Structure formats: C-alpha cells, structure tokens
Amino acid sequence: MTDFFQNIAVTTLPDITEIKFKNIDKNYLKVILISFLLIFSPFLTGLILLDQFVFPEEIKENMIFIYSGFIVLFVYGLLHLLLGLPKRKYALREKDISYKSGLFVKKTTTVPFSRIQHVETDEKPISRLFGLASLSVYTAGDSSDDLEINGITIETALQIKEFISIKINE
C-alpha cells in the first residue's frame, strides 16, 4: 500500500513585488481629463440654469453652499483621477497577465492564460484621438470582463491581444 494521498504544505510564495509592471500611456491623462470635463460640464450648466430660472429666493440665498459643494466634488474627483493615474500599471508574463490600480483601495488582478476565453480591444472616440485603446480579457463563466487595461497604445493592445491569442491556442 504505497499509493497514498499527499498534500504538501506550501512554504514559499512567489513575490509579486518582483514583477516589472509597465505604466499606461501618458496620453491617457488627456483622455481622462476630457471625459471628466464632459461629465461635469452638463452638471454645472444645469446648476447655473436652475439657479437663474427655477430656484426660489430661499434657495438662492444659500447657493454659495451649493456651488461650494460642487467645487469640492469637482476638485476631489480631479485629484483622485490625477493621483490615481500613475498607479495604473500592467504586466505581461509568460503564463499570465496582471493589472494593478487604485489610489485608496489598491487592486491587483492576475489572469492566467489557461483561463482566458477571449480577448478584445476597444477604441473609444476620445481615446482614438490620442492613439489609445483598451484591452479586455474574458474568462469562462462570466459575462463581464475579468481584466481591463485602459490607456495603452493601439499597437500595444493589438500586440498583447495577438500574444494572448497564441498562448491560449497552444
């Protein structure tokens, strides 16, 4: 009776800090800023129109607080985007792809090629103006993307897609 079950304990773990992550393209900052302004501009316009034509005098007396709150939200959102951008990085290794991000809540996602079902590239209108794309990696059993890297050049996105496609078809 020499065949018996063994479950040996793992004593050493791989060090993820040794992975050399690459920064996303610096032009992605422009994409983020334009998108951010396109989102906040209608809200500011709506607030000004409400102030001028809709709000009663009781509310207009306190508009300084409403505008101050809007400015605080705007500055917080802008700072969060600006400070969080350098934290967005990706790494492509022999057997997996990793992406990390997050300013306050840090997140690292690693997807082994053996789990990948398909890979997509996406060029949104503003990103396309700066030659950027996003890469989405999908695994089995889920309808959403498991890993998305925004702000990489179109050429890099296509090269990574081709590399992963070759790896998953081996």
What digits encode the pLDDT tens for the residues 46-105? 999 998 888 898 888 889 999 999 999 999 999 999 999 999 999 999 999 999 999 999
132-152 pLDDT per residue, tens: 999 999 988 766 668 999 999
- Terminal Cα-to-Cα distance of the chain (whole angstroms): 38
Tell whether 148 is covered by a domain.
yes
Residue of 61, 135, 148, 60 lying closest to 99 (CA atoms): 148
Tell whether 46 is covered by a domain.
yes
CA distance 57 to 3: 86
Q: State how many domains the chain has.
A: 1
Q: Which CATH number belongs to the domain containing residue 29 in this structure?
A: 2.30.29
